[in-house]
Amino acid sequence: MPYRRLPNTDKARIAALEKAVEMEYKYSKFELAASYKTLNEARSFLNKFKTAYSRYHYSYGEQIKYAGKYQSLVRTARLYVSHFIQVLNMAIIRNEIKKEHRVYYGLDINCTTVPDLLNEADLLSWGEKIIAGENRRVSQGGSPIYTPTIAKVAVHYDIFKEAYHCQQGFRQNASRSLALLSAMREEGDGIILDIWNQVENYFSSLPMEIRMDKCREYGIIYYYRTGEKKA
């Protein structure tokens, strides 16, 4: 026995609602299998749902489109910050810079390793500390590090920082859009279920195959179980 199943994707929900509201243009008010009130509610909801759907996919698309460029900027900034810390540590080993000056950079004075920079938030934090620390040390008479210079590090760090906040904006927009879309799904499923129940009830006296064809006009989709054969 064929069975129906509510849509489980947003595209399928939109398709089901569009199919149902189209019937208003095909039949008169007195021939509709679902009430005019319900179909009018479906049309109003459909417009809002399609708008929310489009906004989410636009926001998500912008996030993905920017992601490639963003990751490239992250890698470059990480390279410069990491390289600067390595050069600083080598200068300390050669006694060109006092190890106590590591505190200017937020580093432990006895630690010779590079901090973990894999996390973007950590890279943002350490980049700021390293730039401030080098400027402080040089302002007190210390010799600047040249390979790379802190100015070069700062250029790539600032580009990364701007991109970081931009990407965070894309992520937040996509997250808000998805939350709004998700909150609407239950209401949409309720409307679709109401329409389908009304339609099946309206055509309940017809033979099964004719009834199913009539119901399909309103967007109801029937499935056959494994081993069942379509007529």
Q: What is the mean pLDDT of residues 32-44?
A: 94
pLDDT value, residue 230: 54
Q: Say yes or no to pLDDT of 137 above 50.
A: yes
Output the pLDDT for position 28.
85
Name the nearest CA neighbour of 220 among 64, 198, 136: 198
Q: How confident is the model at residue 227 (pLDDT cuts 50, 70, 90)?
A: low
Q: What is the pLDDT of residue 30?
A: 85
For the residues 56-80, what does the mean pLDDT come to?
95
Angle (CA) 34-20-14 rounded to 5° is 140
For residue 155, give the amino acid letter: V
Write down the pLDDT at residue 229: 60
- Supply the mean pLDDT for the chain: 94
Q: What is the pLDDT of residue 183?
A: 96
Please state, for a pLDDT cut of 70, what percent of the chain lies above it: 97
Work out the pLDDT band at 228, boundaries 50, 70, 90. Answer: low
With a cut of 80, say whether residue 231 has pLDDT above it.
Answer: no
Q: Of the given ranges (3-17, 161-175, 216-230), which has the lowest mean pLDDT? A: 216-230
Angle between helices 36-93 and 10-26 (to 10 degrees): 160
> How high is the pLDDT of residue 8?
92
pLDDT band at residue 34 using 50, 70 and 90 as cut-offs: very high
